[in-house]
A and B are shown apart, each in its own frame.
Chain A
């Protein structure tokens, strides 16, 4: 099956620093990738939709200057949390949709746990 990786799996950083999270589709091309945020024991909340070669589409209430998304190739999207603060601590999950797929099946990465001190 399609595999999506995320790196790093866990990161701890100091308040004020920026953190970059990578999402890669390993064995398929993904024209669209999605970034989700998940709080403990809560559901996934879509942050933004990332399309290869174009600007990301952010969900209402998500600060685009805070969460920078770059989808530079068909297999890589990055999320940069800029000037991170403790309230940004969360579990971030990406997913990738198969290009040309018949339906909106998304393959999810294993997630990145961000802790901001």
Chain B
């Protein structure tokens, strides 16, 4: 399987704390994207980082990419209860034009 892996599988934190999720993948990529999914719902695109970028910010989100290690991390700062969701990384493999999703991290932020 070409599916990427994420860790941790589950993360439980208190409001105000930071949450870090990691994603590892297997192939060469054009870009890597992070998505959020609330329980039983569709996916919401959070942020995209291109293969020639190393770090990107969007609001409380910070994404890093290390293509030499084939890994990425998503940091959510000052988490809120509303951030409770599953987070997936997805890689856009070079030449395939399709997204391959990671296994996901379930984040629970307690008030």
Contact = CB atoms under 8 A, between A and B. Distances in A.
B40 interface: yes
Contacts of B48: 103, 105
B99 interface: yes
Interface size on B, as a range, is 20 to 34
Contacts of A104: 30-31, 92, 97-99
Nearest to A49: B98
A68 interface: no
Interface residues of A, number: 24
Contact of A108 (B43, B92, B103): B43
B91 to A, nearest CB: 10
Interface of A: 4, 6, 32, 34, 41-46, 49, 91, 93, 95, 103-111, 113
6 contacts: A6-B42, A41-B106, A43-B103, A49-B97, A104-B97, A113-B40
